[in-house]
Structure 1
């Protein structure tokens, strides 16, 4: 068998429209997660009589709420893309995060990718190129079905000329 390694084909890269839809869907799920977490903390603070937490939740400043949103966003992306290679938005659009070999990236790359999203105007970086959080983390977003088919074809091509063992 050959020692060649699968290298991602640029034709598999998800379109900007698909990436934009991923972004919108993920923002919706992050906001939903923030709402659910706030609701859970409010119930717990009332049940456990943690008046300080309840007071803080009610009187949270804009800066505090933005910081909470950033933390929830990072946790959302690290959790979903770290475990599944896809956020909920990517599940819906049929895309997946991979490295240049079409494999699920390691936790370090996913964490770097998630932190890179904090760069101002990162969402607009896709208008001219691959996008900063992809570039900095050496990751790609591709169509999941197309990737599987491409890898299958690559592996089948490698088998050409290999003798079968009897």
Structure 2
């Protein structure tokens, strides 16, 4: 019996609307994590009496805050997409990240996806006719509708 290799087709891809909603939800989550971690560091500094720690987190410059946010973003996307193949945004829109053959992405692909997201104009890469952004094409991954993907792969 001949086995046919599975390939992601355009009808399985998440829509631009779903991708935009993923961006909005995940940006909000990353922002909340960033603020929450900063607040926790400040509170811990106050509670243990290490006022230098509290002063440090409060006195971060805009650039330092941006770098702190990028570190949070890196860990959020890397952990969520590696372990779950989805982020909170993708969970809400019922989409997942897969490779071209339907398998789960390896850590290298996820790290590439995440690093490419940090390019300032990367979000605009979705404005072309292609529903895939730079972080998809450079990591050779796809964001697909989960339920359609699962039913298709079972066939």
- Counterpart in 1 of 2:73? 73
- Counterpart in 1 of 2:116? 116
CA distance in 1 between counterparts of 2:23 and 2:81 reads 13
User: Structure 1 residue 143 and structure 2 residue 149: aligned?
Assistant: no
CA distance in 1 between counterparts of 2:49 and 2:78 reads 32
Counterparts of residues 14-53 of structure 1 (less than 5 Å):
14-53=14-53
Corresponding pairs, count: 153
CA distance in 1 between counterparts of 2:146 and 2:70 reads 28
Q: After the TM superposition, which parts of structure 1 deviate over 4 Å for at least 4 consecutive aligned residues? A: none
Unaligned runs of 5+ in 1: 154-166
CA distance in 2 between counterparts of 1:67 and 1:52 reads 20
Aligned to 1:97, what secondary structure does the other structure show? strand
Aligned to 2:27, what secondary structure does the other structure show? helix
TM-score (norm 2): 0.95
- Counterpart in 2 of 1:125? 125
What RMSD, in angstroms, separates the aligned Cα atoms of the two structures?
1.0
Residue 35 of structure 1: how far off its partner (Å): 1.7
Unaligned runs of 5+ in 2: none
Counterparts of residues 78-117 of structure 1 (less than 5 Å):
78-117=78-117
Residue 4 of structure 1: how far off its partner (Å): 2.4
- Counterpart in 2 of 1:158? none
For residues 68-112 of structure 1, what are the alpha-carbon distances to aligned partners after superposition, in whole Å with 9 as ceiling and x for unaligned? 011111111001111100011000000000000111101110011
TM-score (norm 1): 0.89
CA distance in 1 between counterparts of 2:135 and 2:7 reads 20
Residue 49 of structure 1: how far off its partner (Å): 2.2
CA distance in 2 between counterparts of 1:15 and 1:80 reads 21
CA distance in 1 between counterparts of 2:94 and 2:101 reads 19
Q: Max radius of gyration: which structure?
A: 1
Aligned to 1:119, what secondary structure does the other structure show? coil
